[in-house]
């Protein structure tokens, strides 16, 4: 029987590197998601209602992306990271702890999203070289959406 990579028309070595990169992205998304949950639960102040809803919107989007990334890893024949200790060891995004100030929550969300875009853009050349259209589409869709969200968060912070 053919391997999943052969069935997809992808080279094993390139797929293994993409799996590693996707696991790195997954780890960053897990920390991003957890930070958003914390902001949603703990934000205080005059913008509470506005920010509470925004963080919920963002973490709902993040959880969908987490599942899509894990399923892409599986599609390429890999195993998604699934231990939080591995996420902490791998992610560039750091845990945000005990932050209640709305502006600070938004600044960290903006920084975290910029980190995600940077990680995604760094993965594109390998995905393109591997002719892995599935991963390319996943990444470019995320980047396009996140760049718009970054603009909106930045605008909110500079009002």
Confidence (pLDDT) at 9: 86
pTM of the model: 0.96
Collapsing DSSP to helix, strand or coil, 100 comes out as: coil
Residue 48, C-beta contacts closer than 8 angstroms, at least 6 positions apart: 102
10-157: CATH architecture: Up-down Bundle (1.20)
Domain map (residue ranges) of the chain: 10-157
Q: pLDDT tens across 42-70, in order? A: 999 999 999 999 999 999 999 999 999 99
Regarding predicted confidence, which is higher, 17 or 5? 17
């Amino acid at each position: 029987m053919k391997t999943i990579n052969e069935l997809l028309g992808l080279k094993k070595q390139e797929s293994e590197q993409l799996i590693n990169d996707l696991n790195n992205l997954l780890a960053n998304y897990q920390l991003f998601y957890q930070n958003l949950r914390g902001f949603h639960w703990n934000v205080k102040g005059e913008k509470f209602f506005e920010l509470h809803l925004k963080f919920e919107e963002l973490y709902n989007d993040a959880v969908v992306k987490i599942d899509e990334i894990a399923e892409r890893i599986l599609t390429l024949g890999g195993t998604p990271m699934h231990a939080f200790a591995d996420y902490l060891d791998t992610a560039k995004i750091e845990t945000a702890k005990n932050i209640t100030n709305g502006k600070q929550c938004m600044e960290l969300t903006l920084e975290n999203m910029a980190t995600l875009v940077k990680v995604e853009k760094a993965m594109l050349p390998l995905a393109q070289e591997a002719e892995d259209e599935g991963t390319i589409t996943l990444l470019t869709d995320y980047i396009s959406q996140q760049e718009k969200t970054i603009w909106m968060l930045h605008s909110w912070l500079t009002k």
